[in-house]
Amino acid sequence: MSGFRGATAVVGVGATEYLRRGTSVHTSAQLVLQAILAACVDADCDPRQIDGFVSYGGDSSEGLAIGAALGVHEVRWSTEVWGGGGGGVAAAVNCAAAAVYSGQAKCVAVYRGLSEAVDGRRAFAKGHLGSLYSAHGVMAPAQVCALRTQRMLEVDGVPASALESVAMAGYHHAQNNPRAVAYGRPLDHELYANSRLISEPLHLYDCSRENDGAAAILVVGTDRSADYRGVPAVILSGVQGAASGWTESTENEVLYTTAGYHPALVRRLWDGAGITAAEVDVAQVYENFTGPAVASMIDHGLCPPGPDAGEFMTVENLTVPQGAMPINTAGGNIAEGFVHGIGLVVEAVRQIRGGSSNPVADADISLLIGGPMAPLVSSTVFGSLQTL
């Protein structure tokens, strides 16, 4: 759909604080409501005017219930992206944009909330580790991603330093973000290298956090964005899906070390946005673990494959202000906080709208990469009004 490019925009973002998992006194729904109301304040929007709700990854807060609690005038769109866990985060944004673009809704809230007291332990991983995994002692996402990461290192020749740089970049940015769980807790090479192995080759600091919290954005038609406060972040392109031999095939993928972003999908992303990978100013890369994050950057053409990845993936190159490809500028899942990646959406938008703790100067193109090495993957390209 050529008309999709720039037809919708994000006009508000909101987030709760990120708390250690299981410590919030609020339910998931209460956290979601707080985040949506904060997004409405950001946009100077009456929450009763929201008429659509989208989430992903088995969110327990149904759109109809959230709409009722907000007292909305009408719910016209309520849906959840199936499958893929965090792979659905960008897909949820794309779904909201599609609803607005097609006229099914006018103002859609995209959200994700987690409260362990309600959702239980590892709610985001339920349903994706079946008997073929458990029969071989694979019980956690870290083990699945470790298998793929080890092969990427051994067979593809990507150096382990690339993984460390992803973790270090997130921690570096978190030191300027008072909202980050890792704020005031810097990471250096010795601390990283000497941390315990979780599932080889992944160390402790290669793994995302688990937190209670919520975040939300508001998507409207770009032609209505002037009705809201602040600078809009237009949605230039979005893709989601899985190639044949990926989806839920349980370790039978031919391209085993890819993050799941097959060439046709990535080509649609760039063609839809009317740009190339080289034009991306800043990226929020879903790092459930650092290995999949490196693989997803390679898949998108942001980073060269194989041994050359080590030359590109350095802390200097991945951080503000000097880096050619700053990533995870609020700290990411690893250092800001993990609520199934929704914080990455907020930061991707803030790089265009303003409000980032580590702003990239004159950023016009902001990329969001959803959960890699998941059954479903997705990405979204945000742009400034100057890109239209």
| Segment (H or E) for 9 | strand 8-15
* Antiparallel, parallel or unpaired: β 8-15 and 233-241: antiparallel
pLDDT digit string, tens, across residues 223-235:
999 999 999 999 9
* pLDDT reading at 98 higher than 70: yes
Whether the upstream peptide bond of residue 292 has omega within 30° of 0, thus cis, is no
**Residue linked to tokens 């409405």:** 40
pLDDT digit string, tens, across residues 204-223:
999 998 899 999 999 999 99
Give me the residues paired with residue 241 across strands: 377
Least confident of 59-63, 95-99, 132-136, 178-182: 132-136
When pLDDT is cut at 50, 70 and 90, the band that residue 124 belongs to is low
**Could you give the 3-state DSSP secondary structure of residue 260?**
coil
pTM: 0.96
> Nearest 5°: CA angle at 383, between 379 and 386?
160
- Distance, CA of 296 to chain centre: 12
Task: Pick from 77-91, 252-266, 352-366 the range whose average pLDDT is largest.
Answer: 352-366
- Straight-line distance from the first to the last Cα atom of the chain, in angstroms, rounded to the nearest whole number: 15
Query: What's the mean pLDDT in 323-327?
Result: 97
Least confident of 22-31, 241-250, 253-262, 323-332: 241-250
Identity at 319, one-letter amino acid code: T
Cα(142)–Cα(128) distance, integer angstroms = 13
Q: What are the φ and ψ backbone dihedral angles of 75, each rounded to 5 degrees?
A: -100, 115
